[in-house]
A and B are shown apart, each in its own frame.
Chain A
Amino acid sequence: MAVRAPSSLFLTEAVGQNIVPSLARMLGGWTVAVILGVLLGVAIGRSRRFGDYVEPIVHFVRAIPPPALIPIFLILLGFGTEMRVSLITFAVIWPVLLNTIDGVRSVESLHLDTAKVFEFDRRKVFFGIVLPSAAPKIFAGMRVSLSVAIIIMVISEMVGLPDGIGNVILGAQRTYRMADMWAGILLLGILGYVLNALLALVETRITRWHRGAREGVS
């Protein structure tokens, strides 16, 4: 167990063994959360009745601190990837879900009236008005989710099978490889920063109208 230089953490086989699987799990869990969150959020936001049935459950379940689910997920899903991805999905779905409900419900009523006047069908109302109106809020939720995802990724890697960045950091601490430990922590900071910047870039492209309309000329 030699003391390695921190650079080796990034440049050696560690990249393939730890960083790539970590990122894959994080992005996988986040993607699933975004898809489920938007679908469920649209359903709750659009249907008063469905919302009435489901919303109280949503509010209860989201109040559970995600790490408290680790024991259950360990029991149900084992010690590997399934457990980690599910934990990430569970933890990060809430910002997307709640923002989607919010976005879908706060569609400008005059836009809906306009749609009625010009006889839009349901599909056109949904894809043409509801989704674009809710998009800025959905994106904001996705951004928050991504920053939470990186945290939960680390947590999920500190239990179960030994792989991933979180595990490397914990292992480095246990074996007193301080340089590796700090390198791992720094790496997480950089990852979080880069991912957030990337998503912000996509967001500004897709919802360019939103900022323009808010800063408006009129």
Chain B
Amino acid sequence: MSVTTTGTDLLTIEGLGHVYEGRQRHEAIGRLDFTVPEGAFVSIVGPSGCGKTTMLRCLSGLMKPTRGTVYLGGEPVTDVPRDLALVFQDYSRSLFPWRTVAGNIGFVLPRGLPKEERAERIRESLDAVGLSGAADKYPWQLSGGMQQRVAIARALAYRPKILLMDEPFASVDAQTRAELEDLMLDVRRRFDMTILFVTHDIDESVYLADRVLVLSKSPSTIVTTMEVDLPSPRDQVATRASEHFVQLRTEIAEMIRDQSTRRTASGAGAAAADTAP
């Protein structure tokens, strides 16, 4: 594998399940068990509405799951841990419009931080996402892709051990998306960070990750875990054209398709069995 994992698991998920109670009871997550090794780039792919966002909210401690436990570095997650940062899909609602780009980044740094270090961290993280010139702009003066870069820079400046990303590139155009994907690979190398990346795009999940977890429709469970042993550094054209890449993405696509047809088929089968004498 092309990854520099230490072999120890940074994030461990045990028997995670979540049910939304209320007038319409909805079981979003069935049962999830998986681990994210330190230094790994793991992506989770699944059809839309499969409870990916619910899962990330549980993993990050924003929401208390109905069942199961999440461990970060061996400690059970009850509140949002210090070592974790989350990048939301909706950058326009996550950035603070009343603060400049630099202000948004500086805002999440601890209050006690010396002035020089604060400035240095802002500079470094903006540099990492290629936005050095935009420090004094307001988020709403930037394009969607640039806003998401700011959100990523903000998370980087916070120096988390693990970065969770919730379909971060779902609402940008294809060209920008490719740029941001490469940006993530670069950032990961520079900051030696563990990343858990949720997406509904199969190609994206394979292109970015060392390991892909395929989720079923809700109540979601893990259908399969696939190691991605594509060579690094990856290239938008060459990697995506490689036979191995195509083979991996096809396998996952088939799995997702079969999984959804099997479910409807078994449903129909059960109905038939009921009516059988």
Which residues of A does B touch, CB under 8 Å?
108, 110-111, 113-114, 116-120, 124, 128-129, 132-133, 135, 207, 209-210, 212-213, 216-218
Most chain A CB neighbours (cut-off 10 Å) among B99, B107, B158 = B107
Q: Is A128 touching B80 in the complex (CB atoms < 8 A)?
A: no
Number of residues of chain B lying within 8 A (CB) of chain A: 31
Complex Cα–Cα for A116 and B78 (A):
12
Q: Is A216 touching B140 in the complex (CB atoms < 8 A)?
A: yes
> Does B182 sit within 8 A of A, measured CB to CB?
no
Q: Is A117 touching B60 in the complex (CB atoms < 8 A)?
A: yes
List residues of B (72-107) whose CB comes within 8 Å of A's CBs.
79-80, 82, 84-86, 88, 90, 92-94, 96-99, 107
Q: Is A117 touching B86 in the complex (CB atoms < 8 A)?
A: yes
A218 contacts across to B, CB distance below 8 A = 92, 140, 142-144, 147
Q: Is B80 touching A129 in the complex (CB atoms < 8 A)?
A: no
Q: Is B80 touching A116 in the complex (CB atoms < 8 A)?
A: yes
Of all chain B residues, the one with the shortest Cβ separation from A136 is: B98
Q: Is B140 touching A132 in the complex (CB atoms < 8 A)?
A: no
Complex Cα–Cα for A118 and B147 (A):
18
Q: Is A118 touching B158 in the complex (CB atoms < 8 A)?
A: yes
Q: Is B62 touching A111 in the complex (CB atoms < 8 A)?
A: no
Complex Cα–Cα for A213 and B142 (A):
10
Q: Distance (Å) between the CB of A49 and the closest chain B CB?
A: 21
Which of A113, A118, A129, A212 sits near B138, CB closer than 8 Å? A212
A113 contacts across to B, CB distance below 8 A = 62, 86, 88, 94
Q: Distance (Å) between the CB of A137 and the closest chain B CB?
A: 13
Of all chain A residues, the one with the shortest Cβ separation from B145 is: A218
A128 contacts across to B, CB distance below 8 A = 96, 107
A-B contact pairs, 28 of them (CB 8 A): A110-B90, A110-B93, A110-B94, A111-B94, A113-B62, A113-B86, A114-B94, A114-B96, A116-B61, A116-B62, A117-B84, A117-B85, A118-B154, A118-B158, A119-B82, A124-B111, A128-B107, A132-B98, A133-B98, A209-B140, A212-B97, A212-B138, A212-B141, A217-B141, A217-B142, A218-B92, A218-B140, A218-B147
Of all chain A residues, the one with the shortest Cβ separation from B104 is: A114
Most chain B CB neighbours (cut-off 10 Å) among A120, A212, A213 = A213
> Does B108 sit within 8 A of A, measured CB to CB?
yes
Complex Cα–Cα for A204 and B60 (A):
38
Complex Cα–Cα for A217 and B111 (A):
32
Q: Is B96 touching A117 in the complex (CB atoms < 8 A)?
A: no
Sort A-B residue pairs by CB-CB distance and give the 7 closest, nearest first. Answer: A213-B97, A118-B108, A110-B93, A209-B98, A213-B140, A132-B98, A117-B86
